Amino acid sequence: MKLAPDEQGLKADIVTEQVKTRRRSTKAEQRAETIEQILDEAEYLFSKHGLHGVTLKDVAKRVGVHHTLLNYYFEDKKKLFDAVFARRAVVTSTERMRALDEYDRATDGKPTIEGALHAFLDTDLDLYIHGGDGWKNYGALGAQVANTPEWGAELMDSHFDPVVLRLIDLLKRALPDCAEEDIFWGYHFVTGALMVTLARTGRIDKLSGGLCKSEDFEAIKARMAAFMAAGFRQVCGAKQI
């Protein structure tokens, strides 16, 4: 059936608009893919060499683009670093907060030390176990940030304070007679062990003659919460809970 001239014009306009929409979508997708690739490669380099050991040209070379493209997307190297860190920080914080909330509800507001630590630690370790090399690179990067007082503490504060304080709240309820300062010191030791774990330095491999491996997050997950819970009990002078 032949369309009237006005119907033909309407159909042409619809087709034209669909083509424009597809082009816009494709352009947006390409931009998102480029940014993701930049973040992946920058994450790898920063995890190996730190903020000051990497240049935008280094990242551009690894991505395979001219360095001016990085300046188009990121104002400077620190902005790129912050974007790299924030990308996965929001995932780990959200997942751990969800796990802590679910655990709190499941125990009807009566947490145990081990339960709270498992919710906090295991959820995070699962990301490094199942997330591939990208997450392991991020873990090493996080260990660097946590040990850089000049600007790293601010990054850690802005991304992780809420979920850490949620854990502290559960631990206070699990240890109602424990001095508050001891609970904070206990968390300090927990996060220290976690950061050494994420750094994957290989030192334990050498010390143990290969019996233990710093890449073995499953082995770490099986032991860390129980070890830390015993430490809280000892420091707090608490009975078995």
- As a whole number, mean pLDDT of residues 170-174 equals 97
H or E element, residue 72? helix 67-73
218 pLDDT more than 80: yes
Q: What tens digit of pLDDT does each residue of 48-81 get?
A: 999 999 999 999 999 998 888 888 889 899 999 9
CA distances from 3 to 7, 12, 13, 14, 18 (A): 6, 11, 14, 14, 20
The two tokens of residue 17 are 């608009």
Q: What tens digit of pLDDT does each residue of 102-135 get?
A: 999 999 989 999 999 999 999 999 999 999 999 9
In this prediction, residue 24 has a pLDDT band, given cuts at 50, 70 and 90, of low
Q: Give Dmax over CA atoms of the chain in angstroms.
A: 89
Encoded amino acid at 109, one letter = G
Where exactly are the structural domains of the chain? 5-73, 85-236
In this prediction, residue 241 has a pLDDT band, given cuts at 50, 70 and 90, of very low
Q: Is the backbone of residue 179 left (phi > 0), alpha (psi -120 to 50) or beta?
A: beta
Per-residue confidence (pLDDT) for residue 172, from 0 to 100: 97
Per-residue confidence (pLDDT) for residue 8, from 0 to 100: 54
Using alpha carbons, select from 33, 56, 36, 37 the residue that is nearest to residue 46.
56
- Taking a C-beta distance cutoff of 8 angstroms, is the pair 81, 71 a contact? no
The four Cα atoms 131, 134, 135, 136 give a dihedral, to 10 degrees, of 110
Residues 6 or more apart whose Cβ sits within 8 Å of residue 168: 183, 184, 187
Top CATH class of 5-73 equals mainly alpha
- pLDDT, the chain, mean: 89
User: For the chain, how far is it from start to end, CA to CA, in angstroms?
Assistant: 81
Per-residue confidence (pLDDT) for residue 65, from 0 to 100: 87
240 pLDDT more than 50: no
- As a whole number, mean pLDDT of residues 215-241 equals 88
In this prediction, residue 15 has a pLDDT band, given cuts at 50, 70 and 90, of very low
Fold of 85-236: Tetracycline Repressor; domain 2 (1.10.357)
Per-residue confidence (pLDDT) for residue 7, from 0 to 100: 53
Structure pTM? 0.83
Using alpha carbons, select from 157, 36, 153, 122 the residue that is nearest to residue 87.
36
Per-residue confidence (pLDDT) for residue 151, from 0 to 100: 86
- As a whole number, mean pLDDT of residues 158-180 equals 96
